[in-house]
Structure 1
Amino acid sequence: MLDYDAEAGAYDATRGGVPRAEAAAAAVLGLLPAGAATLLDLGCGTGIVTARLSRPGLRVLGADASYGMAAMAAGRGVPVVLASGARLPVPSGSLDAVSAVWLLHLLREPGAAPAVVAEAGRVLRPGGVFVTTVDKDAAHDVGSDIDELLAPHLTPTPADSAEAVTAYVAGAGLRPHGEARFTGHGQGRTPRGAAAALLAGQYASRVSPRGTTPRELADRLELLPGQDTPRAEPTYRLRSFVRS
């Protein structure tokens, strides 16, 4: 796992920056109820997406467990609380919407992702909506030579798989509501970048090397042509769920 406090200052520049954040925010806003007045953005990170979750009448709060990330969000003018997504300082049934963009795939400890979804369900009012990305890592490298090389080593059901999230939300009193997709601008991987990400543990939610090691897989990636040529940009998937 990354040290998010240490990475906060450089985080956005390595993950698509403003274009990707604007696409994500627009997709989230499109799934919110028309009359939503309050939104909590879980795992808000640097606040680059949270700051763009803006429309008339909507009050937005961010939450993140990393002090460094929360400080960056506050610097962007985002009201933010330092808190775990599994234990929020928010009254039950008090919010119109909760979002979790690029969060659940990071929660690799058993029970961690269901706990965050359950907490989102707790703080939502009846009719409130939970919006989350699903299958985040699977959106990368689709149909590319990188994808082909990694295919035998993919984790069958990462924490943010659509199948797994559907099970979490059912236990949290939520039901399917809507779906949206958006482009991960600037996120097309190169073989060299994929190898570095693999060795840094950034593929941990997607790749489970069986019969080999991360170093051996990285060596194979480094033999692919066009080492610094980005493959296709990912298309990320958002799903929304309504509180019964």
Structure 2
Amino acid sequence: MLDYDVEVARYDATRGGVPRAQSAARAILALVPDRARTLLDVGCGTGLVTERLVRPGLRVFGLDAAPGMLRAASERMGPALVLGDCRQLPFADASLDAVSAVWLLHLLPNAATVVAECARVLRPGGLFVTTVDKDTCHDMHSDVDELLAPYRVHRAYDRASRIMAVASEHRLRRAGEARFTGHGQGRSPARIAVEVTRGYFSSALAMDEEQSAALVRRLELLPDPEVPRADPVYRLLALRKEG
């Protein structure tokens, strides 16, 4: 996994910035009922999405385990931030109306523990909103993704069927879903070639040095190497806690 205290310096700029964050926040709010008064954004990172979860009467908190990320988020959100572990949320049982987790579960081998914690802190009738199937949003999406696909490590920690199975064990039932565009995440061959060379995908792609060099050569031969391919479309699941 990336060192997010280091990654913070380039995080927003390399992940679609404000347009992507706005797209995610709109999709989350479309699923969260108007009656919700509290929302916790787990794995809030730099707060770019979290600060856009704005609605009259809704109090929003952000939580992240990386101090560097929270320092960046504090410039946007001030004191409504918590340094904490998503596997052991520092909130009381049944204390929140909604919890969101965007682009988080796909990183975590213990995603089931995080789902259980989110369920624990939700009040009956509360809603857990999370992205699922993140990697498949890119797979075979373009000529670039076709070249990456044979090397991709499919951990699928956030596979929708897996998340829903765990959720059901904690009285979370499917309540809806939404999709939103990952603006700025379309990959150009030139950009990906540089990032493969730098080892940026070391945790996501399984290859040796020879395979890496061959992949870079194939990327460099693709047409329009500087042109980003189409943006991915991400999937959000909404899960309601039964009383």
- TM (norm. structure 1) is 0.90
Task: Give the corresponding residue for 1:163.
Answer: 161
> Structure 2 matches for 1:189-228, cutoff 5 A?
189-198=187-196, 200-202=199-201, 204-205=203-204, 207-209=205-207, 213-228=211-226
Q: Give distance in 1, aligned partners of 2:223 and 2:30.
A: 39
- Give 1:227 shift: 1.9
Q: Is the 8 A contact 1:189 1:231 kept in 2?
A: yes
Task: State whether residues 137 and 203 of structure 1, in contact with CA within 8 Å, keep that contact through their aligned partners in structure 2.
Answer: no
- CA distance, structure 2, for counterparts of residue 214 and residue 160 of structure 1: 26
Between stretches 97-106 and 9-18, larger displacement belongs to 9-18
Of the three residues 129, 132, 137, the one matched with 1:131 is: 129
Q: SS of the residue aligned with 2:88?
A: coil
Change (3 A) 1:84 1:213: farther
Residue 100 and residue 145 in structure 1: after superposition, are their counterparts in 2 closer, same or farther (change >3 A)?
Answer: same
Instruction: List gaps (5 residues or longer) in structure 2.
Output: none
Unaligned runs of 5+ in 1: none
Identity over aligned pairs, percent: 55
Structure 1 residues 134 and 196: alpha-carbon distance in aligned structure 2, compared to 1, 3 A threshold: farther
Contact kept? 2:139, 2:149, Cα under 8 Å: no
Q: What is the root-mean-square deviation of aligned Cα atoms in Å?
A: 2.0
SS in 1 for 2:9: helix
Relative to structure 2, which stretch is displaced further, 127-136 or 169-178?
169-178
Asked whether the equivalents of residues 86 and 114 of structure 2 are also in contact (C-alpha less than 8 Å), the reply is yes
Q: How many residues align?
A: 239
Q: Which residue of 2 aligns with 1:239?
A: 237
In the alignment, does 2:14 pair up with 1:14?
yes
* SS in structure 1 of the partner of residue 167 of structure 2: helix
TM-score for the superposition, normalised by structure 2: 0.90
**Paired residues of 1:141 and 1:189 also in contact (CA < 8 A):** no
* Cα distance in 1, alignment partners of residues 141 and 91 from structure 2: 42
Contact 2:141 2:232 in 1 (8 A): no
Matched, 1:92 2:93: yes
